[in-house]
Structure 1
Amino acid sequence: MPEGDSVHRAAARLHTALAGKPLTSADLRVPRFATADLTGRTTLDVTPRGKHLLTRLEGGLTLHSHLRMDGAWYVFGPGQKWHGGPSYEIRAVLGTADATAVGYRLPVLELLRTADEDHVVGHLGPDLLGPDWDPDAAAANLLATPGRPLGEALLDQRNLAGIGNIYKSELCFLAQATPWTPVGALPDPQTTLPRLAAAAQRLLAANIGDGGRFRHRNTTGRHRPGQELFVYGRAHRPCLRCGTPVREAPQDGRPTYWCPRCQSGPAPAA
């Protein structure tokens, strides 16, 4: 399930493989752009923006992709067998003299002018891992709808960009509030929300891969298997803090986890 840290890792891999090199092959396997010829263009950079990937090419073009739930980019060396799924799931191939990037199951893939990037990412809030990160601005965005459940507000990329379902559950645990708690009902939200936004940034930054602290996604700081996350994926297992069984219920169609003892606020009936 790609989240902001996963997208930044993917961008780093693609940038290393493609940036500064002319494309020797390019194949966009979506009907709208199937005839686009990008061969010969040099990749300028691959930039993540929230959960979006912007592959910028010379000539003022950007290839915009979004991984959503199960999309992925893989990089292969010369002669290396491609893997990542059956060939019919391939949506994009970008090749250079010494590497090939292959995008599988990309639900969003479009070619646009670099000058028009704001049309696809301009609505996003501050990027947790980007140069525009501002915890106070993110907190103000969250508090703009005080009646909204905290879990839904954290997932709204217009408030802050990069949080997915895993971090949503983990951050609500750290806030000691259920994901159904209205944002405005948090204790001292003017102080709590900037701290929560700053904690979100620290967690994602610690998990971005090379240079990060953890080999696998980790929010607890613990390294024993099964103790990397406080509540996500731990339904019916003991809370790592108090031992109470963790509960699970859908929120906006997504599985959501919380500890009924450590987290106060409204929640679905058992």
Structure 2
Amino acid sequence: MNHDPKRHSIALLRILLLPLLLFAGDAMAQHPGDIGLGVADGRLKVDGPIGAEDANGIFYGVFGDTGFPGYTSNPGFDAFPGTFAPGRIGFNVLAGLRRWDMKLGDWETPTSVPERMSISFITLERVVEDEPMSGFDLAVQPNGGWHRHLDFEILGDASGERRPGVYRLDLSLYSTMGIADSDPFVILFNYDASNAEVDAAIGSFDDSPPCPGDFDGNGVVDGADFGSMLGAFGTEDPELDLDGDGTVGGADVGLLLGSWGICP
């Protein structure tokens, strides 16, 4: 059996933090960036992230933000005290793991993604591969809140390789208290992805027309953007490689000029 020292370190950290995970949630204030959780019209409702503009069911986490590559416990889930009666809240995985393909400009199908994702809490674990699956549930806290941070870890393929990129996890929440399931929502996880990949992955959920070439984000494709592209011409800069072929070239200039002017 192969022994991964990084996974062993994470497992040890979980054991050391066990008392905190079990008891500290009652006293913790809401965390900026967590997924807000409540009840509306008889069903579970996710919103937030907390402290930011509502993301319409698209949330974001970064592997490595805790100091362990390929691992994060963010975003968490956070409901105010008094939100729930005694019971349990859990998650289900609605689709296999997906990864953003910059060249295709679309999400890879789950069956074409060799990586896997572990979702765990102390001794409970589910490993997401290429199919939907049932998750697990955790108790509502004594004060009626539900502040939980699950452990997310990107696992390699059979050889242990983990490709950089943006990975997509489709979830819903359920309860044992007679509250209807939440609407589906998505968490996007950044594993050493470029800013362009992150922007494109998030943008895939945006119904508004795209604006390729607006590198400075001022709502206009103009001379400043053209200058940025000329400065990177011939390089492999992923931020300016609009067609995703690996090189900033003439095709990218054509895409930029085709979007010239005020973004739609």
Shared fold (TM-score greater than 0.5)? no
Query: What interval of TM-score do these two structures reach, taking the shorter chain for normalisation?
Result: under 0.3
Structure scoring higher RCO (CA < 8 A, sep ≥ 6) equals 2
TM-score (normalised: structure 1): 0.24
TM-score (normalised: structure 2): 0.24
